[in-house]
Structure 1
Amino acid sequence: MAGEIDGTMKGANAWGQAVAAVAVVGALGVGLWAFGETSTSHGDLPPATCSGGEPEKASRHVSGAQLCEALNRPDLAELLGTPEQKAKTAGGSGGSVELAGGKKIPTPSARVEFETYTVTLSATYDRLPVAGSATLLGDSAQQRKVLGRPAVLYSHRTISIRFRLDGSDSSSGPGVPARTVTVAQDAKDGGGSYDVSLWRSDGVVPDDAVLLGVAERVLPTVPGWAAEK
C-alpha cells in the first residue's frame, strides 16, 4: 500500500533563497506534513478542525495554530468555488529556516485540504521587502498591491512524494502547478511576508481571482494584521 503527498516547492520566501541557499530547506515546510491517511469518501463527517497545538504565549510572531484558525474559516470552500466540499485535513505547524551563522527565521504555516483544492498560509519573519522581488521569481511573476500592501503573484510546482507505509521505495518528482501570492507584513514593506498558495488535485492551474479572493478574506483575520506598522 502506498501513499502520496503534494508539498509546495515554495520556500520561506523565494527571494530569501536567493540570499541564502540554505533557505531551500524551507520548501518542505509548507506542504510535507504528517496528517495521516484520509478517505476519499467523507459522507456526513464534519469538516476537519485545526490540529497542531496551541498558540505560543508571549510571542511576537503568529503561530501555526493561529494561521490555521485564520485559514480554516467556515466559508473557505465557498471562496474556492466548491461550497459543497468539506475540509478533509487542517493543521498548523511551527518551523524555521536556519541561515549561515546559525540565525533562525521563524516560518510558521498552515494547510487546509479539500477534495479539489489545497490551500496553505505561511508567514516569514525576515528583513526582506516584497517590493521588487518579482524580478527574482521568473518572467511570469507580477508585482501587485493586495489590501494596500506590496505583493507579488507567481507560479511554481508542488513536490509529489510517493512512499510505501513501511518506508521503502520512496520517490519524489514534480507535482501539480500552484499559484502563490506573497504579501508584505506591513504597508511600509519593512520586511517579512505572508504567503497564500493554492493548487488543485486535478492539475488544473488555479484561477488567480480565486487565490486573491482567499488572500483578501483570510489575511486581515491573521492576528496582528491591523496592528502592524
Structure 2
Amino acid sequence: MREYMAGVGRAVLLRAVVGMLVLVGGVFWHSAQGRSSDGERDDGPAVCRPPEPDWPSGYPALCAALNRPDLAELVGAPGEHAVSAGIGSYSPWETGAAQVQVGKVKAAVSESPTLPYDLLLDDPRVSAREVAPLAGRPAVAYSEPLRWMVIHLGTGSPGPGAVSGGGRSPGGTAYHLVVARNADGSGGSLEVSLWREDGGYVNDDLLPGLAEELMADLEGWDGPPLPAEPGEPTRPPRPSPSPTSFRPFSGGR
C-alpha cells in the first residue's frame, strides 16, 4: 500500500482527489443553492438529502454528525443556519462523505479506511504539515486554492448546460485537517474541511474543534485510539510539534 502511494501513484491520486473536490464540489453547491429539493427547507435549516443508491454507505452517519445544531458556532458563522446539506464530493477510496453549507461557510467531512493520514505530507505541491495530535491521533493540515467551475443548469443565462470558469468565479482557499484512526497513524483517516463561498478567510483554529466534535459522534472514532489496526504492521508516527495554537497556514511555528 505504501509503495503504491509513492511516486506516480501518489501524483495520480492527488490529482484525482483534488480535481474531484474542485469540480464535483462546485457542481453540487452551485446547483443545490437554487433547488429546495436538495435538502433546503423554506421554514428552517436544511436537512440532509436522502441517500442515493450509488452514494457511499457512510454518508448518512457523516451527514447527521456534520449537520448539527451547533455547526454555525463551530465554523465561525454564529446566527446562520444550514442552507444545504448533502453528499458533496467524494472519491472511490472513501466509505463516507458529507458537506453542509452554513451561511457563507462550507464544511465537509470524509472517511477512508485505506488512505493514510499523511498521504500529502511529502508532496511539494501541497502546503501540508504535521500538526499537534488530535485526541491522541496524529494529524496533518494542508490548504489549497479553489477555482470553481460554475455549471448553469437552466436557472438563467447563458443557457442550460453552459459551463463557465476562471474570471471572477467563486474561489478562495480550502483548509483541511486529516486525522489518523489509530495512535500509530494506521487504520485510515478522517478529513475535515472548511472554506468560504465568498473567498473570505477561515480561522484555522476552527478545524480542530470541529473535528473533535465530529469524532465524538462517529462510531469507531468516539473512543480512545487503538495502538494499531489488528493485522497491520506498526507504522511509527512522524515527529509532531508540541501542542500549540493551530496555525499551519499563516507562516506560524
Q: For this structure pair, what is the TM-score category when the shorter chain's length is used for normalisation?
A: 0.7 to 0.9
Of residues 139-148 and 76-85 in structure 1, the stretch that sits farther from structure 2 once superposed is 139-148
Counterpart in 2 of 1:35?
32
Question: TM-score, length-normalised on structure 1?
Answer: 0.73
The aligned residue for residue 147 of structure 1 is: 135
Change (3 A) 1:132 1:51: closer
CA distance in 2, matches of 1:215, 1:55: 27
Deviation at 1:121, TM superposition (A): 0.4
Deviates more, 1:130-139 or 1:147-156: 130-139
Tell me the amino acid that sits aligned with residue 161 of structure 1.
M
What does 1:17-166 align with in structure 2 at a 5 Å threshold?
19=10, 21=12, 24-27=15-18, 28=20, 31=25, 32-33=27-28, 35=32, 37=34, 45-53=43-51, 63-92=58-87, 96-97=91-92, 105-126=93-114, 128-131=115-118, 133-136=120-123, 138=125, 140-144=127-131, 145-166=133-154
Separation of aligned partners in 2, 1:134 and 1:94: 22
Does the CA contact (< 8 Å) of 1:52 and 1:64 recur in 2?
no
Where does the alignment leave 5 or more consecutive residues of structure 2 unmatched?
155-159, 227-253
How far off is 1:54 after superposition?
8.4
Higher-strand-fraction structure: 1
Aligned with 1:88: secondary structure? Answer: strand
Q: 1:72 to 1:188 in 2, by over 3 A?
A: same
- Provide the residue aligned with 1:11 in structure 2: none
Distance 1:73 1:181 in 2: 19
Structure 1 partner of 2:161: 168
Report the TM-score when normalising by structure 2: 0.67
Deviation at 1:215, TM superposition (A): 1.2
Cα distance in 1 for partners of 2:164, 2:42 equals: 34
Q: Which residue of 2 aligns with 1:203?
A: 199
Match of 2:230 in 1: none
Larger Rg: 2
Question: C-alpha separation between the residues in 1 aligned to 2:161 and 2:183?
Answer: 48
Identical pairs, percent: 34
- Taking only aligned residues, the RMSD between alpha carbons, in angstroms, comes to 3.4
Residue 201 to residue 76, structure 1, CA distance change in 2 (3 Å): same
Using the alignment, how far apart are the partners of 1:93 and 1:163 within structure 2? Answer: 15
Are residues 158 and 124 of structure 1, via their aligned partners in 2, closer, same or farther at CA, if it must alter by over 3 Å?
farther
Q: Deviations over 1:102-129 (max 9, x none)?
A: xxx3342100002220000011221x43
* Larger RCO, structure (CA 8 Å, separation 6 or more): 1
**Unmatched 5+ stretches in structure 1:** 1-13, 98-104
Count of aligned positions: 202
